[in-house]
Chain A
Amino acid sequence: MMKNDEIKRSPVVKICNISKSFGHVQAINDICINLFQGDIAAIVGDNGAGKSTLIKLLSGVYKQDEGYFIIFNDEVHKLTPELAISYGITTVYQDLGLVDTLDVCSNIYLGKEIVKNKFFIDRSKMLEGAKNLIKRLDINIPSIKVETSVLSGGQRQGVAILRSINQGGKILILDEPTAAMGVKESKIVFDLIRSLSEQGYTIILICHNLQQVFDISNRIIVLCHGKVTADINTVNTSEDEIVKYMSCLS
């Protein structure tokens, strides 16, 4: 029987010998990565290193040429976007995917509205659900009835993450979550990410800002020319070392 700490440390996702090419370009080359519950794993690499390809493979958008996934102990060879979502793998893209003219509650439930009598939207249940979710994650949003267009960058990122969680997200892929944000707004996002990690969510970040990577992540996975050149605990490395890994120099 597995002990508690062994259960805790069983990977929620195992990426097993995954390769992907586009024509003659080998975008991902025989990658193996284990992702654990509560991880805040930053994927870093130069342009063209394979970061976007990797997260698209993991979210089922691309189909791998070789290899497979083990997700919550299920071996998966053909991962589709619908299957990924069913496993709780959700992606928040850089553009956040929010509808600016709808309010926070409607955005959180976009595509997953609560319906009564098969036809009518149950607005009161959605409002209650949204309030509870915001309270649970301790996000500072002025009102769930305001249009998302009036929110700050950090709050909008919060709404996008809330939607992912509401969709059943347990493994959240965040693509450049603090792009174009100032220090204050980035802090809002990082506080939320830490809170999610503490609650057992697995966070995968794509981030170009190494300082932010060191601020927020507990693991750094470095890609270079489609290969993993480092998979290291953040406390055990430095920015200089990471840059060397990004350049395939170590």
Chain B
Amino acid sequence: MPKKYKYNIILLVMLLILIVVFSNTSPFFLKLYNFKNILDQSTINIIVGIGMTFVICSAGIDLSVGSIAAFCGVIAAFFLHAGISVPLSMLAAILIGAFSGFINGYIISVIKVNPFIVTIATMSIWRALTLIFTKSTPIYGFSSGFTMLGTGSFRLLPLTVVICIIVIVLGWILFNKTKLGYYSAAIGNNEEALRRTGVSNNYYKTIIYVLSGITAAIAGLIITSKLNCADPTAGNMLEMDVIATVILGGTSINGGKGTIIGTVISGLFMSVLKNGLTINAIPPYYQQLLVGLIIIFAVITSDKFFKN
């Protein structure tokens, strides 16, 4: 069995252990409404994590996802308030997300600036634009057609979970069944080798960041519809949670390796962890400390696991 699947199984076992532990520490944990809550809360990390999996696998990083999510939420809000239909407003937001990703990808691949530098700059730029456009004031009040995205259900599942499942399936297909996935790993491990075969590394690198922008835009729409508010500070520190999720899921920070399934299991793990800690009345700043420790733990253990 390939090592990445062994790692996924270990992660799944850790998730089950966590569920067992929290089931014993709180009577509320195993309730159906709490599980729905856990799934709902995991969707943002997982959706953005799908895009980030491609990015980190290609030995890149995207620190601008939180800012893009906020900016796209605001764009959708403007369009909705201008009377544009819900589908077109959402499409506009996604296109802006794709464009944001394109800017990142172009500067990184064609102009050849380090991804960390580029995305830390665009993180600041998109956040600033969000605050400028909104004058630092949240935008409230959308139609039920839009808020249904974040609060509605399909059968027993929250609609956010259904969207998340669609993104997971599409992400898995792209990663495992198309050149984009293969080349993400190739670019991450040996970019020169791929270039020598005649493949345009610049093209695929740009597409990877476009994908990251799109997933951030989807997250932004979900956040905005859930809150019924386009908050210019939304998505703050989202990139840290997402990076932790992706690395814990087994994608190598050095590039060349990644799994979508790992990102999903890891996203659920993080959501279960936060939910369990909250239900057991652990203060949120301790949760933040835990996320930081998990990133370090995940990098060390996954690196050692795959080296061995």
Chain A residues within 8 Å of B, Cβ to Cβ: 81-82, 85, 93, 95, 97-102, 106, 110-113, 115, 119-121, 123, 145, 167
Contacts and interface: CB of A to CB of B under 8 A. Distances in A.
Nearest to A102: B185
Nearest to A122: B177
A101 B189 contact: yes
Interface in B149-205: 173, 177-179, 182, 185-186, 188-190, 192-194, 196-199
B256 A101 contact: yes
A113 B182 contact: yes
Interface residues of B, number: 21
A246 to B, nearest CB: 30
Contact of A110 (B178, B194, B257): B194
Q: In the A-B complex, list the 6 residue pairs whose CB atoms are closest, starting with the nearest.
A: A111-B197, A101-B256, A97-B193, A101-B189, A99-B186, A99-B190
B197 A99 contact: no
B269 to A, nearest CB: 24
Contacts of B185: 99, 101-102
Given A101-B256, A111-B198, A167-B197, 20 more contacts: A82-B198, A93-B196, A95-B192, A97-B197, A98-B190, A98-B193, A99-B185, A101-B185, A101-B189, A101-B252, A101-B257, A102-B189, A106-B182, A110-B182, A113-B179, A113-B182, A120-B177, A121-B178, A121-B179, A123-B177
Contacts, number: 57
Contacts of B199: 111
A102 B186 contact: yes
B41 to A, nearest CB: 32
Q: Which of B186, B194, B252, B257 has the largest number of chain A CB atoms within 10 A?
A: B186
B189 A119 contact: no
Q: Which of A85, A99, A100 has the largest number of chain B CB atoms within 10 A?
A: A99
Interface of B: 2, 173, 177-179, 182, 185-186, 188-190, 192-194, 196-199, 252, 256-257
A111 B257 contact: no
The interface residues of chain B, by DSSP majority, are classed as helix
A186 to B, nearest CB: 23
Nearest to A119: B178
B194 A111 contact: yes
Nearest to A107: B193
The interface residues of chain A, by DSSP majority, are classed as loop
B189 A121 contact: no
Nearest to B193: A97
Contacts of B178: 119-121
B153 to A, nearest CB: 33
Given A119-B178, A121-B182, A101 B196 contact: no
Contacts of B189: 99-102
B246 to A, nearest CB: 16
20 contacts: A85-B198, A97-B190, A97-B192, A97-B197, A99-B189, A101-B185, A101-B188, A101-B252, A101-B256, A102-B186, A102-B189, A106-B182, A111-B194, A112-B197, A113-B179, A113-B182, A119-B178, A120-B178, A121-B178, A123-B177
A112 B196 CA distance: 12
A87 to B, nearest CB: 15
A99 B193 contact: yes
